[in-house]
Amino acid sequence: MKCVSFMCWWVVSWYTGEIFFGYIEGKHWFFHNSVYICTPIFCNATMAHHKSALKRIRQNAKRKALNAYQHKTTRNAVRKLRATTDKKDAEAQLVTVMGMLDKLAKKNVIHKNKAANLKSSLQLHVNKL
C-alpha cells in the first residue's frame, strides 16, 4: 500500500504514550484523542507488512527524535560556552560539553573527528580567557 496523495505523521498520544501513524486532509485531524505531533514522514515508499519491520520503524523514529534533541542541546551548550567570558564558568561548562560531544561521537550522531576538533577549539577558547 502506498500513501502518495497525503502526508503521513508519526504521532504520540498524550494519554497513553502510544505511537501510531495518521494523515491530514486539509486542516482536520482524524484522531479521537488529543495528540502531539512529533515529526512528518512523507510516505513515498511501501509500508512494512511484518511486525519486526514495523517495530524497527518505531525504534528508528524514537532514536531519530532523541538524537536530534541531544544534538541540538549540545550545539546550544557549545554556543553558551563560546559566549562565556568568565574563566571559572567556562572551565566548569567545558567538562560538561566535552562529555556531551563524546556521547554524540560514540553514538555516531556526529563524526569522531568533528567531536575532537570541537573539543580542541573549545579548550583553546577556555585557555585564552
Whether the model pTM is above 0.85: no
Computed over every residue of the chain, the mean pLDDT equals: 77
Helices (H), the chain: 51-83, 87-106, 112-128
Domains of the chain: 1-47 (no CATH), 49-129 (1.20.58.110)
Maximum average pLDDT range among 4-18, 38-52, 85-99: 85-99
Nine-digit cell string for 19: 505511537
- Range 34-38 average pLDDT: 47
Pairwise pLDDT comparison (10 vs 28), residue with the higher score: 10
